[in-house]
């Protein structure tokens, strides 16, 4: 029986401490378990990416070894963001998808996000099945169709996402990626969108010497706001380490909570598609559903968790979804998964239609004061 800790299997991903809970040996076993899980469902094509954490390359190599031993046809897209991994599933027509990342966890952690079907992350029941496969050595072993490493996914991604938005103004944007992997991608994308980008903590450093890149943490957003003021930026964007959560700061350096900017994204959608359904988690303020109704949309509240929101959007055929953590999901004109880079572009699209600064646009949204 393989030695692997049950505690690393979370509700909808795998996470653990490097060197104790997660080792190359553990990752090879997980690769074999996930590959067997896919093969049992008739899935053979898998795309694999990783973040820039200190152990991610070593863990990726071990995971790929295990995965290929099950007969899967694997494309390694190397260092990417989670939304790029999901996008690559559609681009490469691959129902299997793996991202080696610990998301917003601090340095010293790593993990896996696993998909079955296009951008559909595994839930607890699926992860328990993989745990059972691994602990009971019920692996499929077969010579794989090969490992391909010759695809740079970012250029076609940029072309695709820019074709889906209409941005008519040039903004000066402060971009803070907190030394996470998003620093490799977001500045280039925003420049390609016609913006002037001022970079802050965009150099990769897996030790996260300043703070963990997490827009839900006050420290990151306060630092972003301070830099916006110093650089006289129109606004600031902050990204988590793997690019699926977005923070926004206005030109006054004030943090704009995700439920406030989700109001703007909902209005942007409802201008083009009246009657659209919009899903959000239970942590948002009452202002969001009220504004959705006022602008002709249908609000749907659901439980917190990006997998839950994504599943509910599919069930309801919703066009937009969001969480207070900064996960924003777009189905209208996109693929339905959470993508902080695309969310940035959609906000730019909305801002470029208006002649007002971000602070005024936010002030025009309803607001509830917590007692």
- Give the span between the Cα atoms of 69 and 85, in whole angstroms: 22
Name the token pair of 64: 């790929």
Name the token pair of 362: 């936010």
pLDDT score of 143: 77
Whether residue 146 is contained in a domain is answered as yes
pLDDT score of 177: 98
Q: Would you list the DSSP string of 50-70? A: E-SSTTHHHHHHHHHHHHHTB
Mode of pairing for the β-strands spanning 96-100 and 109-116? antiparallel
pLDDT score of 11: 87
Name the token pair of 7: 């505690």
Q: Would you list the DSSP string of 11-24? A: SSSEEEEBTTTB-H
Whether residue 270 is contained in a domain is answered as yes
- The pair phi, psi for residue 239, each rounded to 5°, is -125, 145
Q: Please, are residues 114 and 3 in contact by the beta-carbon 8 Å criterion?
A: no
Q: Are residues 50 and 142 in the same domain?
A: yes
Mode of pairing for the β-strands spanning 14-17 and 109-116? antiparallel
- Give the span between the Cα atoms of 325 and 238, in whole angstroms: 12
Q: What is the dihedral of CA 220, 200, 341, 321, to 10 degrees?
A: 20
Q: Are residues 13 and 40 in the same domain?
A: yes
pLDDT score of 144: 67
For residue 74, give the CATH number of its domain.
3.40.120.10
Q: Are residues 202 and 59 in the same domain?
A: no
Please, which pLDDT band fits residue 2 given cuts at 50, 70 and 90? low
Name the token pair of 52: 């820039």
Active site residues: 103
Q: Which helix (H) or strand (E) holds 301?
A: strand 298-302
Whether residue 305 is contained in a domain is answered as yes
pLDDT score of 148: 79
Checking if the pLDDT of 1 tops 80, the result is: no
pLDDT score of 371: 35
Mean pLDDT of 9-23: 95
Report the number of distinct structural domains present in the chain. Answer: 2
Q: Are residues 164 and 148 in the same domain?
A: no
Checking if the pLDDT of 185 tops 60, the result is: yes
Q: Are residues 177 and 120 in the same domain?
A: no
Q: How far apart are the first and last CA of the chain?
A: 54
* Adjacent-strand bridge partners of 18: 22
Weakest-pLDDT range from 235-244, 286-295, 360-369 = 360-369
Q: Please, are residues 100 and 63 in contact by the beta-carbon 8 Å criterion?
A: yes
Q: Are residues 346 and 228 in the same domain?
A: yes
- The pair phi, psi for residue 328, each rounded to 5°, is -125, 130
Please write the tens of the pLDDT for every residue from 122-149.
989 999 999 999 999 999 999 766 787 7
Q: In the listed set 152, 176, 210, which residue is the last one of a domain according to the structure?
A: 152
Nearest to 184 by CA among 102, 238, 243: 243
Please write the tens of the pLDDT for every residue from 254-267.
999 999 999 999 99
Please, which pLDDT band fits residue 88 given cuts at 50, 70 and 90? very high
Whether residue 368 is contained in a domain is answered as no
Whether residue 369 is contained in a domain is answered as no
Q: Are residues 250 and 191 in the same domain?
A: yes
Q: What is the dihedral of CA 280, 284, 290, 294, to 10 degrees?
A: -60
Q: In the listed set 137, 152, 167, which residue is the last one of a domain according to the structure?
A: 152
Please, which pLDDT band fits residue 307 given cuts at 50, 70 and 90? confident
Name the token pair of 177: 């990626």
Q: Are residues 107 and 212 in the same domain?
A: no
Ordered alpha helix ranges (H), 232-339: 258-272, 287-294, 306-316
pLDDT score of 370: 47
Q: 106: which DSSP letter?
A: P
Mode of pairing for the β-strands spanning 146-148 and 246-249? unpaired
Please write the tens of the pLDDT for every residue from 34-79.
999 999 999 999 999 999 999 999 999 999 999 999 999 999 999 9
Q: Are residues 67 and 118 in the same domain?
A: yes
Q: Are residues 19 and 136 in the same domain?
A: yes
pLDDT score of 3: 76
Name the token pair of 180: 């996470």
Whether residue 370 is contained in a domain is answered as no
Q: In the listed set 129, 152, 175, which residue is the last one of a domain according to the structure?
A: 152
Whether residue 342 is contained in a domain is answered as yes
Please write the tens of the pLDDT for every residue from 245-303.
999 999 999 999 999 999 999 999 999 999 999 999 999 999 999 999 999 999 999 99
Q: Are residues 292 and 162 in the same domain?
A: yes
- Is the C-alpha dihedral spanning 158, 113, 38, 36 positive or negative? positive
Checking if the pLDDT of 150 tops 90, the result is: no
Percentage of the residues of the chain whose pLDDT score is greater than 90: 90
Domain enclosing residue 182, as ranges? 156-363
- Give the span between the Cα atoms of 126 and 307, in whole angstroms: 13
- Give the span between the Cα atoms of 191 and 345, in whole angstroms: 11
By three-state DSSP, how is residue 328 classified?
Answer: strand
The CA–CA distances, whole Å, from 15 to 22, 60, 105 equal 8, 14, 9
Whole-prediction pTM? 0.95
- Give the span between the Cα atoms of 130 and 35, in whole angstroms: 9
- Give the span between the Cα atoms of 198 and 362, in whole angstroms: 23
The CA–CA distances, whole Å, from 194 to 65, 84, 160, 186, 347 equal 41, 21, 16, 13, 14
Whether residue 253 is contained in a domain is answered as yes
Q: Are residues 222 and 330 in the same domain?
A: yes
Please, which pLDDT band fits residue 369 given cuts at 50, 70 and 90? low
């Amino acid at each position: 029986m393989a030695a692997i800790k049950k505690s690393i299997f979370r509700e909808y991903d795998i996470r653990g401490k490097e060197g104790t809970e997660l080792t190359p040996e553990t990752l090879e076993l997980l690769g074999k378990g996930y590959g067997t899980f896919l093969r049992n469902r008739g899935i053979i094509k898998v795309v694999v990416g990783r973040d820039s954490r200190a152990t991610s390359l070593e863990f990726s190599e071990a995971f790929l070894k295990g995965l290929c031993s099950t007969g899967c046809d694997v494309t390694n897209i190397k260092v990417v963001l989670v939304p790029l991994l999901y996008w690559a599933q559609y681009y490469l027509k691959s129902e299997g998808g793996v991202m080696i990342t610990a998301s917003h966890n601090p340095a010293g952690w790593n993990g896996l996000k696993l998909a079955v079907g296009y951008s559909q992350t595994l839930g607890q029941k699926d992860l328990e099945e993989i745990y059972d496969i691994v602990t009971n050595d019920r692996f499929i072993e077969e010579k794989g169709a090969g490992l391909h490493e010759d695809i740079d996914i970012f250029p076609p991604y940029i072309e695709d996402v820019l074709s889906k938005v209409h941005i008519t103004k040039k903004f000066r944007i402060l971009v803070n990626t907190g030394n996470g992997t998003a620093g490799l991608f977001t500045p280039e994308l925003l420049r390609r969108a016609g913006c002037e980008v001022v970079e802050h903590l965009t150099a990769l450093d897996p030790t996260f010497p300043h703070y963990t890149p997490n827009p839900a943490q006050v420290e990151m957003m306060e630092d972003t706001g301070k830099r916006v003021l110093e650089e006289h930026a129109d606004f600031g964007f902050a990204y988590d380490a793997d690019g699926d959560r977005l923070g926004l700061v206005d030109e006054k350096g004030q943090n704009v909570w995700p439920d406030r900017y989700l109001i703007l994204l909902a209005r942007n959608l409802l201008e083009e598609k009246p009657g659209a359904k919009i899903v959000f988690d239970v942590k948002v303020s009452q202002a969001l559903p009220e504004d959705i109704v006022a602008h002709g949309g249908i609000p749907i509240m659901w439980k917190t968790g990006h997998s839950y929101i994504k599943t509910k959007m599919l069930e309801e055929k919703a066009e937009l979804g969001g969480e207070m953590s900064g996960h924003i999901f777009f189905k209208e004109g996109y693929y339905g998964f959470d993508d902080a880079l695309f969310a940035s572009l959609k906000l730019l699209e909305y801002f470029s239609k208006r002649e007002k600064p971000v602070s005024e646009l936010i002030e025009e949204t309803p607001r509830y004061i917590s007692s």
